[in-house]
Structure 1
Amino acid sequence: MASRIVQQQQARGEAVVGGGKQQKKNGVADGRNRKALGDIGNLANVRGVVDAKPNRPITRSFGAQLLANAQAAAAADNSKRQACANVAGPPAVANEGVAVAKRAAPKPVSKKVIVKPKPSEKVTDIDASPDKKEVLKDKKKEGDANPKKKSQHTLTSVLTARSKAACGITNKPKEQIIDIDASDVDNELAAVEYIDDIYKFYKLVENESRPHDYIGSQPEINERMRAILVDWLIDVHTKFELSLETLYLTINIIDRFLAVKTVPRRELQLVGISAMLMASKYEEIWPPEVNDFVCLSDRAYTHEHILTMEKTILNKLEWTLTVPTPLVFLVRFIKASVPDQEVNVVVLDNMAHFLSELGMMNYATLMYCPSMVAASAVLAARCTLNKAPFWNETLKLHTGYSQEQLMDCARLLVGFHSTLENGKLRVVYRKYSDPQKGAVAVLPPAKFLLPEGSASQHS
């Protein structure tokens, strides 16, 4: 029976020995019908059994019997293996070869058919192509366009990144940045929603209100005279107990006015008095009266002199008093410097203000923009208090400056601190020697920032 079945399968559509013409017609018809049914896929459950006995005709009764059997698939697998192993004789070997050939031949064809080219596409033979690199490049592009491969690549990248992060291989500076506004979320006056935009605006406009170098254009005024005036105004500011905003705005008004107007030496103090009067009106709730400034000047200037100079200054400055001073940036930068609670907030705050006022008193810092002066004061304060690291990612983010960018200005402030104790202008020194301000002025300066200090340290 096995040999007869194999001959039928081998001679698909041809006459079987002893079968007659009717068998030939039936064989052709049965072959076509089986092929059509196979394409439809309605006999997928019995194909395993057919492969085990490839040439047995599938009748309706036999198909119904196989479908009714719940364990047909497992039994068909076992019978298939036993039939291939137990077939004997030359016809069986031939039949086995034919059966294996028929089962094996379609498999590679089916794999190739999966990537059938569309009718409009052109099939390129890589071996016959004159330039194999171009063909391989096209293949690579097609592979990249495959969403499945792309998703696998993405998943691999994610897993690799997570593995590196778990091992600590990658640097994560963003995780080192501290949210300095987290504690002020419920404080409406802190304006947490707008604070970043506010300081971005300050950084954009700080150079618009920044005075340029003017000492060369003032025939009767030099840097020493300016320092004496600022030192006296800081003393007046302390006696009146005015806000720091008033002091910084006063110095800004003086520098901007001297940059656009030539002033004789005898009127320099008058410019300072009028500038402080204007700043007090702008910043204070109860500003000092004009008569108070007349008394402070030992009646060197009258009431009319002060008001006339005030009007002149406003006209020259075009009534522009809303400007970002170093104090505006200093408050924000100090807040960014002490979120770790490792430094005494009061000491660092007073040290930064002390160095900032020293810079404001000296004309040499006028070459730096207000934000850089404030950031340098914070850096110099951290160096003076020996707070390591001197600069971190949080400060770099909020100030917009790296440590290297601030070193020149920071050295300048430390130099002012190192010479202040033996200098003649001691108002700032006395102000910040008070224990209520942490006595930060008496602390030793960070001389290792200075060139000579670093040289002596290395020697």
Structure 2
Amino acid sequence: MDSRIVLPSHLPIKDPEEQKHKKDGGNRKPLQEIGNMVNFHNVPIIKSLGALSLVPDGGVADKKMKEEELVKEPEARAQKKVTYNPNPETVIIIISSDEEEEADDKRQMKKKRVLSGKKTSRKKKYSLTSVLTARSKAACGLATRPREQVVNIDAADADNELAVVEYVEEIYKFYRTTEDEYRVFDYMPLQSHINEKMRMILIDWLVEVHNKFELLPETLYLTIDLVDRYLSTKIVSRKELQLVGISSMLLACKYEEIWAPEVNDFMSISDNAYTHKQILAMEKEILLKLEWNLTVATPYVFLVRFIKATVPTDKEMEHMAFYLAENGLMQYQLVVSYCPSLIAAASVYAALHYLGRTPVWTDTLKHYTDYSEEQLKECAKMLIKFQMTAKENKMKGVLRKFSSSDRGAVALLPPAMHLNEQ
């Protein structure tokens, strides 16, 4: 007769060692409920914790002792009021290697450092390209060169309401986006009665008239712009060319000057070659052809901004930049080849070269002009070439203007550094 005690099927048999762990764990939730993974070292994978095999019989005394312990075990469980799941679920424990545990610990430590704001002690790794680049810069002396800071050229005008520092950047962004809209194209092939030389003679004469009337520099640049834009819309005879220049300057004076010269003054300066009625009629025709668009971005508006960016500024450099720009505006090919902002930037760049200023093109100038040295060199070489041949030219209006002492006599200065030698 079999004397072994039969236990209820709904109560799984537990090993004493497991009971000890159960007692130490208290009322902790099963691993599957909290979703944790427990790491054990050198422990075989246990697919089920619901049942364990019994130890083989080792004698009658041991067998009776085992039976008594098994009988007392349900009573002890009932006193502790521990409930068991009648259908124990299978729990799989994933055991990772020592290397995986070490990598996981490093990731957790790195995450804690990031959350706490502490810097990691891991050494920074460099690629081969970065190492070679750093060595090249060190060999060229670029690594030790301090990085240049862009100067805020509007900081000194914070209290000047006329400087409108709050939106001066937006104004010049608008100038840059609209300068191509009114840019002059190559119109000379359409003109059958005038040529580039006649235009140069007219501009040289207008410079002298502008200087005699002591007008604002804005007036001269707007006058030249009105002349070119009108000539690009209509064929003009040789006799009417001077009339176009007079009427354009009259319009520019009304737009820019506080006290504009009268029509009689222009009649007198032109030796009464045109009547009062002819001047007003041409003025009206110019406005109609240009659709009353007088607010345009001329090289002057960019010149004053770019000269301001040559920190520190000086009068000699300022006069030289204006001299190169006005001398260049007499040249038809330069006007139709480059936009106003590039002509202004190239004038400043050529003036710095001509006077031997160093550094020639700073980060501040790059920032405010939005031009690099390579973009300006071709135009700057043309400006210096025109300046070098100005003394040999018969049109000396600009040369006389900038040979005076009130403009630093910059037209008479020898070049300190020739741009073609760069």
Partner of 1:294: 267
Distance 1:351 1:120 in 2: 88
Partner of 1:151: 114
Q: Is the 8 A contact 1:329 1:370 kept in 2?
A: yes
> AA paired with 1:151?
V
Distance 1:242 1:439 in 2: 19
Q: Is 1:350 aligned to residue 319 of structure 2?
A: yes
Q: Is 1:231 aligned to residue 204 of structure 2?
A: yes
CA gap 1:388/1:263 in 2 versus in 1, 3 angstroms: same
Q: Is 1:322 aligned to residue 295 of structure 2?
A: yes
Distance 2:415 2:92 in 1: 79
Q: Is 1:205 aligned to residue 168 of structure 2?
A: no
Distance 1:179 1:233 in 2: 37
Return the offset for 1:107. Answer: 5.8
CA deviation digits over 1:316-374, x for unaligned, max 9? 1011100000000000000011x2x3x6x100110100001011111121110000000
Distance 2:157 2:122 in 1: 35
Q: Is the 8 A contact 1:414 1:445 kept in 2?
A: no
CA gap 1:122/1:216 in 2 versus in 1, 3 angstroms: farther
CA deviation digits over 1:405-429, x for unaligned, max 9? 1111000000011011122111111
Partner of 2:379: 409
Q: How does 1:13-92 map to 2 (within 5 A)?
A: 34-40=20-26
CA deviation digits over 1:289-311, x for unaligned, max 9? 00110111111100000000011
Q: Which runs of 5+ in 2 are unaligned?
A: 1-13, 29-37, 46-89, 126-133
Partner of 1:249: 222
Partner of 1:101: none
How many residues are matched? 334
Question: Matched residue of 1:420: which SS?
Answer: coil
The structure 2 residue matched to 1:392, chosen from 343, 362, 372, is: 362
Partner of 2:8: none
Q: Which runs of 5+ in 1 are unaligned?
A: 1-27, 43-104, 113-118, 127-135
Partner of 1:427: 397
Q: Is the 8 A contact 2:40 2:95 kept in 1?
A: no
Q: Is the 8 A contact 1:382 1:390 kept in 2?
A: yes
The structure 2 residue matched to 1:372, chosen from 342, 346, 355, is: 342
Distance 2:289 2:274 in 1: 21
Partner of 2:59: none
Q: Is the 8 A contact 1:414 1:447 kept in 2?
A: no
Q: Is the 8 A contact 1:355 1:381 kept in 2?
A: yes
CA deviation digits over 1:91-149, x for unaligned, max 9? xxxxxxxxxxxxxx986379x9xxxxxx99998999xxxxxxxxx9xxx9xx9999818
Q: Is the 8 A contact 2:300 2:344 kept in 1?
A: yes
Q: Is 1:108 aligned to residue 41 of structure 2?
A: yes
Q: Is 1:382 aligned to residue 315 of structure 2?
A: no
CA deviation digits over 1:52-79, x for unaligned, max 9? xxxxxxxxxxxxxxxxxxxxxxxxxxxx
Q: Is 1:263 aligned to residue 236 of structure 2?
A: yes
Distance 1:388 1:349 in 2: 15
> AA paired with 1:356?
A
Return the offset for 1:158. Answer: 12
Return the offset for 1:187. Answer: 1.8
Distance 1:271 1:297 in 2: 12
> AA paired with 2:174?
F
Greater shift, 267-276 or 179-188, is seen at 179-188
Question: Matched residue of 1:234: which SS?
Answer: helix
Distance 1:120 1:277 in 2: 97
Partner of 1:81: none
Q: Is the 8 A contact 1:418 1:445 kept in 2?
A: no
CA gap 1:160/1:332 in 2 versus in 1, 3 angstroms: farther
Distance 2:252 2:211 in 1: 15
> AA paired with 1:357?
E
Q: Is the 8 A contact 1:417 1:445 kept in 2?
A: no
Identical-residue share of aligned pairs (%): 49
Partner of 1:436: 406
CA RMSD of the aligned region, Å?
3.9
CA gap 1:109/1:350 in 2 versus in 1, 3 angstroms: farther
CA gap 1:144/1:194 in 2 versus in 1, 3 angstroms: farther
Distance 1:122 1:257 in 2: 89
Distance 1:157 1:236 in 2: 74
CA gap 1:446/1:194 in 2 versus in 1, 3 angstroms: same
CA gap 1:409/1:292 in 2 versus in 1, 3 angstroms: same
Q: Is the 8 A contact 1:144 1:150 kept in 2?
A: no
> AA paired with 2:278?
H
CA gap 1:410/1:29 in 2 versus in 1, 3 angstroms: closer
Q: Is the 8 A contact 1:350 1:438 kept in 2?
A: yes
The structure richer in helix per residue is: 1
CA gap 1:392/1:35 in 2 versus in 1, 3 angstroms: same
> AA paired with 2:202?
L
Q: Is the 8 A contact 1:231 1:425 kept in 2?
A: yes
> AA paired with 2:326?
E
Return the offset for 1:445. Answer: 3.5
Distance 1:354 1:106 in 2: 83
Return the offset for 1:388. Answer: 1.7
Partner of 1:189: 162
Q: Is the 8 A contact 1:356 1:374 kept in 2?
A: yes
Partner of 1:278: 251
Q: Is the 8 A contact 1:229 1:269 kept in 2?
A: yes
CA gap 1:170/1:434 in 2 versus in 1, 3 angstroms: same
